[in-house]
Structure 1
Amino acid sequence: MPNSPDQSLLGRPAPHPEAYAPELLYPIARAPKRQELGVGAQPPFFGADLWTAYELSWLTPRGKPVVAIAHVTVPCETPNIIESKSFKLYLNSFSGSRFGSADEVLARLRTDIAEAAWRGSDAAGSVGVRLTAADAFDQQQVHELDGLLLDRLDIECTDYTPQPALLSAAFDEQPVEETLTSNLLKSNCPVTEQPDWGSVQIRYFGPQIDQGGLLRYLVSYRKHDEFHEQCVERIFMDIRQRCRPTRLSVYARYTRRGGLDINPFRTSHPAALPANVRTARQ
């Protein structure tokens, strides 16, 4: 049986780990939610979940602390997501352990995260991990998502659970290519019901999507309980089914919680992953 969110450490007291503990990583199967969305064995999208870990530290062999930022790329083809509190506790477990070099830490991260993300798969896979050392912190950028901001629209919002029927497109007109953004995405953790705040970017080519309806649809997630990755896949599938674009990409950047931000990207066609650059709220 796959792990379920209610069996995780979410919402439960958890002691700070004293030593490196890869067993803390808690994978949750993607399949049940994808089945709910009508996503088959071959999803109609590519992409990855881009994680940024700001609270990573370990000890040198002489006991001196080192700090770094970790950038983790988990392909959406993995059978599992990794529950974020378990990820935080796992990263915290490095803080009391001694490692010979940053390369050793990097290797442990790649091995452990890949094992959890691909657990249950017929074939082993990999994840991407890179570290930013403290002497490069001032090179980190802040940039808002590119595109036309939907939040400029003066609309009335009355729905706060996802309403795909709010989505529509001009099927009898010439197709357009647009990039639309909003900072008004908000959902809730399905276990703790704590708020998750995000910004979203939608790129598409196809029948022009009604912008007011799209903004109302995004706002309708406000009381919805679902993990970040699942929300983005729901948005992708709803737009795909209701608006029928020829090409579609959905990218969300969520504000950090517990020193972690999660930024899922889904696209209908093979495309380069977006640069993992934080927004001002992150």
Structure 2
Amino acid sequence: MSNSPEHSPLGKNSAYRTDYAPELLFPIPRIGKRDELGLTGTLPFFGVDIWNAYELSWLNMRGKPQVAVARITVPADSPNIIESKSFKLYLNSFNQTRLGGPEALRELLQQDLSAATGATVHVALTMQEEFGKLQMGELDGLLLDRLDIEIDNYSPQPSILKAAVDELPVEETLVSHLLKSNCLVTGQPDWGSVQISYAGPQIDQESLLKYLIGFREHNEFHEQCVERIFVDILRECRPAHLTVYARYTRRGGLDINPWRSNFTKAGSPSNLRNARQ
């Protein structure tokens, strides 16, 4: 079976398995879209894809249901991403599966997801007695959405990006909640917020906001959109340091939050759930 997106479970009727079924995971190679972006050889970024799973349940050895929230961290240099509907189907396969405890579940998740992505995936579980410790927060930065602009294009146009390359460099963080793209296969809308932190020639904010809104009718997976944004800004605006982080709203109990950076001191992304997640 081909692992191209059109052969995934997306857009198809699917029977929900309730017994453990790791074969449901559908990996999709990253290389195709990266070739499209001209990313050959060493990647111009490092990063992670943070998945949060809110619909996770299994049975203990006495048959009593258990629930947890999972954080799954996939390295950006993994050969594959996992198609999100297959991820949902896989997680639901635990619904009637008896396990010895949360650690047994975590080990299975980590083993199966690492095998599917081709890299070491880290899984952390928050049990129900710790739900109160989960926090919310918004992406920091200057809000681009305050700008009163006129828009007539809804596909990405990197050529409209501008930066003051002849002036002194700046360091700033910009945020927009107007990111929307569409699923590569089904065309269903994906809603997100995006944070862009950089050091270098000052990016023209109006052109950046128009560029981001230009994803509104664009069909790509979350991870691919964020890498396209990163590469386009890097090429057109030439920042010395760049970090792009998107927080997408959840679908099927899963949210996907890709983070890409070329700046080692950028730290690691927070995983605070924002208002729309």
Distance 1:248 1:14, change over 3 A: same
2:53 aligns with 53
Could you state the TM-score of these two structures normalised by the residue count of structure 2? Answer: 0.98
Q: Aligned residue for 2:274?
A: 279
The residue type paired with residue 274 of structure 2 is T
| CA-to-aligned-CA distance 1:33-82 (integer Å, 9 cap, x gap) | 00000111211000010000000000011110000000000000100000
TM score, norm. by length of structure 1: 0.96
Query: Where do 1:86-235 residues align within 5 Å?
Result: 86-118=86-118, 125-235=119-229
Residues in 1 aligned to 2:79 and 2:263: alpha-carbon distance in whole angstroms: 20
Query: Does structure 2 retain, via aligned residues, the 8 Å contact 1:2–1:28?
Result: no
RMSD (Å) for aligned C-alpha atoms: 0.9
Query: In 1, distance between residues paired with 2:110 and 2:46?
Result: 21
d(CA) in 1 for partners of 2:2, 2:248: 26
Aligned with 1:38: secondary structure?
A: coil
**Correspondence for 2:242:** 248
Q: Distance in 2 between matches of 1:73 and 1:112?
A: 13
Once residues 191 and 41 of structure 1 are traced to their aligned partners in structure 2, the CA distance between those partners, rounded to angstroms, is 28
Does the aligned pair in 2 maintain the 1:147–1:201 contact within 8 Å?
A: yes
Q: CA offsets, 1:167-226, max 9 Å, x none?
A: 000011000000000000000001110000000000000000000000000000000000
Unaligned runs of 5+ in 2: none
Q: Aligned AA for 2:18?
A: E
| Residue identity in the other structure for 2:133 | Q
Identity percentage of aligned residues: 62
Q: List alignment gaps of at least 5 residues for structure 1.
A: 119-124
1:28 counterpart residue number: 28
Once residues 194 and 41 of structure 1 are traced to their aligned partners in structure 2, the CA distance between those partners, rounded to angstroms, is 32
What stretches of structure 1 move > 4 A for 4+ residues in a row? none
How many aligned positions are there? 276
Paired with 1:45 and 1:36, the residues of 2 have a C-alpha distance of 16
1:76-119 alpha-carbon deviations (Å, 9 max, x no partner): 0100000000000000000110001100000000000000000x
Alpha-carbon distance in 2 for matches of 1:184, 1:170: 24
How far does residue 2 in structure 1 lie from its aligned partner after superposition?
A: 5.9
